[in-house]
Amino acid sequence: MLYFKASAHRSIMTTISANLQAVLARIDAAARQYGRDPRDVALLAVSKTWPADCVRDAAAAGQQAFGENYVQEGLEKIAGLRMCGLEWHFIGPLQSNKTRPVAENFDWVHSIDRLKIAERLSEQRPESLPPLSVCLQVNVSGEATKSGASPAEAPALASAIARLPRLRLRGLMAIPEPVETLSAQRLPFRRLRELYEQLQADGLAMDTLSMGMSHDLEAAIAEGATLVRVGTAIFGERNYA
Ligand SMILES: *Cc1c(COP(=O)(O)O)cnc(C)c1O
């Protein structure tokens, strides 16, 4: 019994490590293809639905930053892996009654789409921790998706968030609708990058364009992503059952 468990675990670990190397190679190749420095594109490993052991395996293979979508699940992994010194990013929809544990335990939040959430996170961020790094989520796919601020409201919202004392506005995030071709994938990412550049020109200091996932990270890197959020290509297909 022990033998089978151990060997099964060893093969999962090998798979995660190999997948991670393959994703890093994709990032590297895309960055070079589009004339960018691969070191300017960070990898966030999205570990939602995967147990802490999988995170531990990815960490052993060198991955430092992990993304979670569900508050309770994320908190359990953060607590269980406290000694690993990992960086935790909250990337899922956030309700206002769940902001406190996020402010107290995560390093980043990518999914801020309204001021009320940002204000609560700022109020609840403990003084003993550095300011919480945040991204404003923008809906660049139009009516197809519902989450994220509209591009029209983004400038005022970003300025208001940037003024909150216990937050540090790092940039913008988007989750475009899945589409097939590279050129179609690039369009919403280009919209997000243009908005990002406009806000920078207006005087907001930001360093993060959080865009691109397993199926479209090349298109995101082509359009200037500085952080790609990758789950499936590292850990495998998720089972939500
Ligand atoms: C699940 C998720 C990802 C990762 O998606 P994959 O297709 O598994 O790479 C990235 N960003 C967000 C916000 C997610 O919810």
Each residue's pLDDT, cut to its tens digit, for the chain (241 residues) gives: 344 444 566 677 789 999 999 999 999 999 999 999 999 999 999 999 999 999 999 999 999 999 999 999 999 999 999 999 999 999 999 999 999 999 999 999 999 999 999 999 999 999 999 999 999 999 998 766 678 999 999 999 999 999 999 999 999 999 999 999 999 999 999 999 999 999 999 999 999 999 999 999 999 999 999 999 999 999 999 887 5
- Measuring from atom 7 of ligand 1, which residue has the nearest CA? 214
Which residues, other chains included, contact 98 with Cβ-Cβ below 8 Å and sequence gap of 6+? 71
- Report CA(2)–ligand 1 centroid distance (Å): 34
User: How much is the pLDDT for 142?
Assistant: 75
The enclosing H or E element of 210 equals strand 208-210
Q: Which atom of ligand 1 is nearest to the CA of 69?
A: 15
How does DSSP classify residue 144?
G
**Residue 59 tokens, joined:** 């960490």
Counting ligand 1 atoms within 8 A of each CB, the residue from 229, 237, 239, 240 with the most, and so the one to mutate, is: 229
Q: Which sign, positive or negative, has the C-alpha torsion 28, 33, 37, 43?
A: negative
**Residue 175 tokens, joined:** 């989750």
Pocket of ligand 1 (CB under 6 A): 46, 48, 69, 91-92, 175, 213-215, 229-233
